[in-house]
Amino acid sequence: MARVVSFISEKGGTGKTTACYHIAVALQRFHNKQVLVVDTDYQRGGITGRFFPELIESFGSDEISGTTMFHKFQELYSAGERSPEVDIVSWKKSIDVIVSDPRLSAVTEDKLPSTQNIRENNRSLLKHLQVIDYVLDAVKEDYDYILIDSHPEVSDVLRSVIYSSDYCVSPVKFDRQSSIGVATVIGEINNVNADVELIKNSLDGDLEFLDTEFSGSMGMMAREWGGDLKRTEYLERNRLRRTGSVFETYVTEGDGLRRALLDREPVYNVSGNNANRQARQFRQLTREFLEKCP
């Protein structure tokens, strides 16, 4: 039964996609895990592009073909027949992917058919939160880990991502804005947990829901001086620890990951000292990930 872990941050460009991609590959390659990656980033579809560059060339201008998460929200809005099936694409026969769809940007609870009945409305809001979980539940048996990449913004898609997750992690740079961003992320996780509790109590019937947990922030693009974190980043990491848990392992800023992106390869496949170092860091981060998201 898969563990679902989402990569979220309030700020853009903090390394969510890079972290999600490299941990997914490491889980499969070095720990023999069955992995499904879900791309819910409708702005860039970054991780879809890492796996399938050809799909992302037309991202935004063209519709993604096949059945995506977007259609699952759509089914709810049209009050038509529902099914949890979406298209799952295999990457090099090693990792499965549910690709992103730019139309997910149109997802909002406002489109739900509304009624005069509060309980009916609550039921409908709950179903909206549950869309991604509904899809993943149908395939959870096939995987050890399901990793979800997301867009940097609080939205109704993100709330559904949080609902579906056992754990959330937050890739960050060690700067002042990150501490603020992580507090927002933790706040949104708490909001979803509290909303579910409230809706649950207003409806009869049992709903099995375990609170989504924040597993910690992950330092990305960290800068070192003389083998240790630079003083300012060291201080920011300490500040971050007062906000919530922080992964011990961080990944340093460097050319290895930039090369990996250009070559469309994971950093584990790239040669050179810097790439080797970043590959080691990601392998270490993945071991810690397995402990923090068991």
Ligand X SMILES: Nc1ncnc2c1ncn2[C@@H]1O[C@H](COP(=O)(O)OP(=O)(O)OP(=O)(O)O)[C@@H](O)[C@H]1O
Q: Contact residues for ligand X (CB under 6 A)?
A: 12-18, 41, 44, 46, 152, 220-221, 251, 253-254, 257-258, 261
Output the six-digit token pair for 279: 């590959």
What does the block give as tokens for 121?
Answer: 């409305």
Pick the closer one to Mg ion by CB: 46 or 216.
46
Contact between 129 and 159 (Cβ < 8 Å)? yes
Q: Considering beta carbons, is residue 76 or 171 the nearer one to ligand X? A: 171
156 binds, among Mg ion, ligand X, none (CB under 5 to 8 A by kind): none
* Number of chain residues interacting with Mg ion (CB under 5 A): 3
Nearest approach, Cβ of residue 278 and ligand X (Å): 6
Q: Which does 244 bind (CB under 5 to 8 A by kind): Mg ion, ligand X, none?
A: none
Q: How far apart are CA 233 and CA 82, in angstroms?
A: 48
Q: Beta 89-91 vs 95-98: how paired, if at all?
A: antiparallel
- Taking contact as CB under 5 A, which single stretch among the options 45-53, 184-192, 223-231, 242-250 is the one that binds Mg ion? 45-53
* 267, 279 contact by CB (below 8 A): yes
E-assigned strands of the chain?
3-7, 35-39, 89-91, 95-98, 145-149, 167-172, 213-222, 224-225, 228-229, 246-252
Cα distance between residue 231 and residue 252, in whole Å: 14
Distance in Å, CB of 252 to ligand X, minimum = 6
**Closest approach of ligand X to the CB of residue 193, in Å:** 24
Instruction: Rank residues 8 and 131 by Cβ distance to ligand X and give the closer one.
Output: 8
* Residue 3, both tokens: 């563990």
- Smaller CB separation from Mg ion, 199 or 220: 220
- 281 makes contact with Mg ion (CB under 5 A): no
Q: How far is the CB of 274 from ligand X (least distance, A)?
A: 9
d(CA 249, CA 56): 31
Site for Mg ion in 10-39 (CB under 5 A): 16-17
**Alpha-carbon distance 99 to 104, whole Å?**
11
Point out which residues bind Mg ion (CB under 5 A): 16-17, 46
